[in-house]
Structure 1
Amino acid sequence: MHATEHAPRSVVAGISEWALDAAAVEESVLSPRCGAALTFTGIVRNHDPEAAGTVTSLEYSAHPDAGTVLEGILDRHRRGPQAAGGEVRIAAVHRIGMLDVGDLALVVSVASAHRADAFEVCRAVVEDIKTEAPIWKKQQTAAGTSHWVGLP
């Protein structure tokens, strides 16, 4: 299906227990009214400053209201100052459950009339998700230790 054949919502947010599909998330924001589209993917890496040793996997947990919080973040940015320059469409999906190194933990896609707006909004959305969304991760290391990140 091409962007001209459907009218996806301008804000799509979700929490998923399934592997994320970055192309599908980006497809959900495409529109003939938008000349720029970009996608950020957060990928599980094998190290973290807060982990003692090599990270082998992560386990993400989310509060039941996490999806609603994501929607609020995206809606706030869709209505922000960048929206004055034209339409801004945003989608974000965060994974929960067990993830291995290399798995996608977060996908954020933004489409807008102009590229500068898309870049600015995408970065702001990613940062706000990291600081505001009630999502926590437990890092597992090769040494068998674990460490929680993001707990209040």
Structure 2
Amino acid sequence: MSEVIKLVGVRDTPLSVDEVFQAACDPGAGGTTVFVGTVRDSDHARAVRRLSYSAHPTVEQELRRVMEKVAADFPVKALAAVHRVGDLEIGDLAVVVAASCPHRGEAFQACRRLIDDLKAQVPIWKHQLFADGGDEWVGAC
């Protein structure tokens, strides 16, 4: 199944939607779904100034494990996922994932599972800095 995993990355440089989309393209896929997560300007009714992501050293192995499970549960032709670490500003891309499957419904489901499981299981932590001077650490994201 790992042959369908085309791109796995956690990096401190800006992310590219095009890179992830191109990695997930497959001639046997009738649908490719891409999810882009961006840094928003508020959380829990508090203005966010900026945030920072940090990750455990095993982050890429854990991301691959999540992707392998998605590939086992759906008729995936290709998967791609990258997450940013380091300091990010409002509007920056934090995560980009994509799934290609024979049909669009499967592609939507696989992509949804990929981002949901990434946020729940991959050891990446978010430190939000609020405009009011406060801050907050968010568990696995």
User: What interval of TM-score do these two structures reach, taking the shorter chain for normalisation?
Assistant: over 0.9
Corresponding residue to 2:66 among 67, 73, 79: 73
Match of 2:25 in 1: 30
- Residue 88 of structure 1 and its aligned partner are, at CA, apart by 2.7
Aligned-pair Cα RMSD in Å: 1.3
Q: Name the counterpart of 1:3.
A: none
Q: Does structure 2 retain, via aligned residues, the 8 Å contact 1:57–1:99? A: yes
SS at match of 1:60: strand
> Structure 2: any 5+ residue segments left out of the alignment?
none
TM-score for the superposition, normalised by structure 1: 0.86
1:110-149 equivalences under 5 Å are: 110-149=99-138
Counterpart for residue 63 of structure 1 = 56
3-state SS of paired residue (2:46): coil
Identity over aligned residues, as a percent? 36
Aligned to 1:103: 92
- 1:4 corresponds in structure 2 to none
Question: After TM superposition, where is structure 1 displaced by more than 6 Å over at least 4 residues in a row?
Answer: none
Q: Secondary structure at the match of 2:9?
A: strand
Q: Does 2:37 match 1:48?
A: no
Q: Which has the higher strand share?
A: 2
AA partner of residue 26 (structure 1) = F
The 2-side partners of 1:26 and 1:56 are apart by: 29
Q: Does the 8 Å CA contact 2:38/2:94 hold for their aligned counterparts?
A: yes
Q: Is the 8 A contact 2:38 2:92 kept in 1?
A: yes
TM-score (norm 2): 0.92
Name the count of aligned residue pairs: 137
Deviation at 1:53, TM superposition (A): 2.5
1:80-121 CA-partner distances (Å, limit 9, x unpaired): 1x22xxx43111101000000100101001111110110000
Q: Using the alignment, how far apart are the partners of 2:37 and 2:57 within structure 1?
A: 21
**Structure 1 residues without counterparts, runs of 5 or longer:** 1-8
Give the Å deviation of 1:76: 1.1
1:46 is displaced (CA, Å) by: 0.8
CA distance, structure 1, for counterparts of residue 113 and residue 33 of structure 2: 13
**1:69 Cα deviation (Å)?**
0.4
Equivalent-residue separation in structure 2 for 1:56 and 1:113 (angstroms): 41
Q: Deviations along 1:28-85, whole A, 9 cap, x unmatched?
A: 0111111111210001001112xx72101110000000110000111111121x22xx
Q: Which has the larger radius of gyration?
A: 1
